[in-house]
Every structure is written in C-alpha cells, then in structure tokens.
C-alpha cells in the first residue's frame, strides 16, 4: 500500500527563470545543411549541428534555429551527455512534423522529437512546434501514436516561450528529470483531439510550471508515478480535462507527493483538479487540501470523493471552496465515499466527510 500526498493551494509563487548568457560559440543549423522551407527534410542537418554543439569544449554553446524559417523534421533524438554543463537551443523559427505516418517507418513509433540525458538544457524562443496531429487522431491507439516532444533524464531543464500545437499524442513529456522550469508556453490542440495532454510528468522531481496557456483534448497537466515536489502556478487551462494526478495503482510503487497547484484558471474543462487511481489498487490518498477555489460547473455534482473501500482517503481538507451549478434549477452537491477530513466555509457542504 502506497501513500499519496497531494496539496492544492491558491497563493502566490515566484520563480526566477534563468536568462540566456552570452554563448562563447554558436552552431546555426543553416551552416550544417538545413534548408528551412518546410518541405525538405532537415533532420540530418539538425543532428550534425547538435553533435557539434554538444561536443563543443566552450561554455554555454548554442544551437541556433533561425527565424523566418520552417524546418521539417522526421523522428529524431538529440542525445547527451554534452561537454558543457549547460547548452542552449534558441528557437525563433518553426518546426513541423511530417504530414505522412510513413515517415516513422524504421523509427521508434513512440516519439517524434526527443532529448535524452542532456543536463543544463535551455530551450528558449518564440517559435512554434507543430505536430500535425490531424493524421493520427482518427485512430488514437496509444501504442502506435508518437509523443511530440520528450525529455528523458534531462536535469536542470528550462523551457521558455515556445508555442506547441496539434501534437500527435502528448505535447510535452518530462520523464526521469530533476530541476525543471517550464514557463510562458502556449500549448493548444482542438478539444476533440484524443490523448493530446499538454504536459505529462513521470518519475521526476522539482518541476515548476508557470505562467502558461494549455488547451488540448486531454489533461492540461498530468502527473504520474514517481513524481514529487511539483509546483504549478498561473496556468490558464482549457479546453481539456483539467490538472490530474494519475492514474495510479498500475505499478508496485506508484507514489506521488508534494504537489501544489496555485492561481490557476480552468475554463471549459471536464474537471478542475483530480486524482485518479485504478479500482482495487489499494492506493492510499492522504493530506489533500483544496483552498480558496471558486467557480461554476455544468454538472451538479461538483465535489466527488470516491475513495478505496479498504484504505480510504485521510485528512482531506476543504477551505473556502465555493462552486455552483450553471444549470437552471439544479443545486450543486457533493458526493463522498470512505473519505476522512473536514471542511470550513465551503459550498456545497461536504457533509459525507468522516472524522
């Protein structure tokens, strides 16, 4: 039986995002054969430029993806470790995926763009990453659809300013990373696009997501097993499924703890904040606080605590939570099962909470 600790606060959070220092050397993809017309495959040129930047002995090398260009990339992985303790990808240009699924022949189907084992990676710019997911959405088999942008084992990661649209599956995946700062992103896909999560986090620690817009066909942010010290603040979420933890319980050690969601706005989402577990998995949920939340819902059941019948949920706190139904004549209500905790200044009242 594992313990899940999840806290939702609405307060202020201030994070300093590292700026771009003057790189002593830069590596422009155009100098390595990139075309940038949106039709020619620029994958090989990007890999050559990346290899040069990654191996550079200089401090803070920069991979330059120049503005006013559109770069077509087939599935590609940018691997580390690199020689420098930090490396910059400066991206004022646009990157697009192939229009055809055939481009994945001979490649790992699970991902399109990936960075692996690159510490001190800073991706900064105003460019757009376009996954061209429309070709994939009609047949959304999860094992046969690529994730758009994956970071694996990248500590000290910074993502700032980029736009990311129409991913094939997840837009951004953070896996087995520590010390991650994501800010000022704009992530969007149609509300009907399947499995297009905005940001997925698994097995990662000390992740900060702030001041961004995320509107997709699935979770704005999803937090999975093995993650801790996750801070999410200033997010405008919707359309989508809200901000989620889980689903948990499929593995033997599905622990998530110290999650804080603050100053976020949900508009046109299926839920606000939620914790998902597999039935009969025996996951214990404890120490959850919902504080200073107000809003409206098209459903009349606005608070739903359905806890495991054997282990239940403990220390669930509601403080200053006010949610109304937008349906004329419908009164909002709460539903609880085997949940322990208390509430104060909350409407609807959560009368089913056990001591």
Q: What is the residue whose two structure tokens read 């992985």?
A: 77
- Give the three-state DSSP class for 98: coil
- Closest by alpha carbon to 177, among 197, 201, 159, 212? 201
Give yes or no for a cis peptide into 239 (omega within 30° of 0).
Answer: yes
Could you say which of 14, 108, 186, 241 is catalytic?
A: 241
φ, ψ at 231 (rounded to 5°): -120, 120
Contacts of 351 (CB under 8 A, 6+ apart): 334
Give yes or no for a cis peptide into 348 (omega within 30° of 0).
Answer: yes
- Give the three-state DSSP class for 27: strand
Kind of pairing between the strands at 256-262 and 3-5:
unpaired
Verify whether residue 241 is a known catalytic residue: yes
Give yes or no for a cis peptide into 81 (omega within 30° of 0).
Answer: yes
List active site positions.
241
């Amino acid at each position: 039986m594992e313990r899940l600790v999840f806290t939702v606060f609405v307060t202020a959070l201030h994070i300093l995002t590292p700026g771009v220092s003057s790189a002593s050397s830069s590596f422009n993809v155009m100098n390595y054969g990139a075309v940038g017309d949106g039709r020619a495959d620029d994958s090989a040129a990007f890999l050559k430029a990346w290899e040069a930047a990654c191996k550079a002995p200089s401090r803070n090398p920069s991979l330059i993806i120049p503005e006013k260009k559109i770069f077509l990339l087939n599935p590609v992985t940018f691997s580390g470790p690199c020689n420098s303790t930090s490396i910059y990808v400066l991206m004022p240009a646009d990157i697009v995926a192939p229009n055809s699924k055939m481009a994945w022949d001979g490649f790992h189907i699970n991902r399109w763009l990936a960075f692996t084992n690159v510490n001190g990676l800073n991706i900064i710019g105003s460019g757009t990453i376009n996954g061209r997911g429309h070709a994939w959405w009609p047949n959304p088999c999860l094992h046969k659809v690529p994730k758009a942008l994956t970071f694996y084992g990248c500590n000290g990661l910074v993502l700032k300013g980029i736009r990311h649209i129409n991913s094939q599956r997840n837009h951004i995946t953070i896996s087995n990373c520590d010390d991650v700062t994501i800010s000022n992103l704009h992530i969007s896909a149609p509300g009907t696009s399947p499995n297009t999560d905005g940001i997925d986090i698994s097995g990662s620690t000390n992740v900060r997501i702030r001041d961004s817009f995320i509107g997709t066909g699935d979770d704005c942010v999803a937090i999975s097993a093995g993650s801790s010290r996750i801070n999410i603040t200033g997010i405008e979420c919707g359309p989508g499924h809200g901000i989620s933890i889980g689903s948990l319980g499929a593995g033997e050690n599905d622990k998530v703890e110290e999650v804080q969601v603050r100053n976020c706005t949900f508009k046109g989402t299926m839920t606000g904040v939620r914790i998902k577990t597999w039935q009969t998995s025996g996951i214990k949920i404890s120490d959850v606080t919902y504080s200073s939340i107000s809003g409206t819902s098209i459903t009349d059941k606005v608070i739903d605590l359905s806890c495991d019948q054997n282990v239940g949920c403990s220390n669930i706190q509601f403080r200053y939570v006010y949610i109304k139904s937008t349906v004329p004549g419908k009164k909002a209500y709460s539903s609880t099962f085997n949940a322990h905790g208390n509430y104060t200044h909350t409407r609807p009242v959560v009368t089913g909470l056990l001591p």
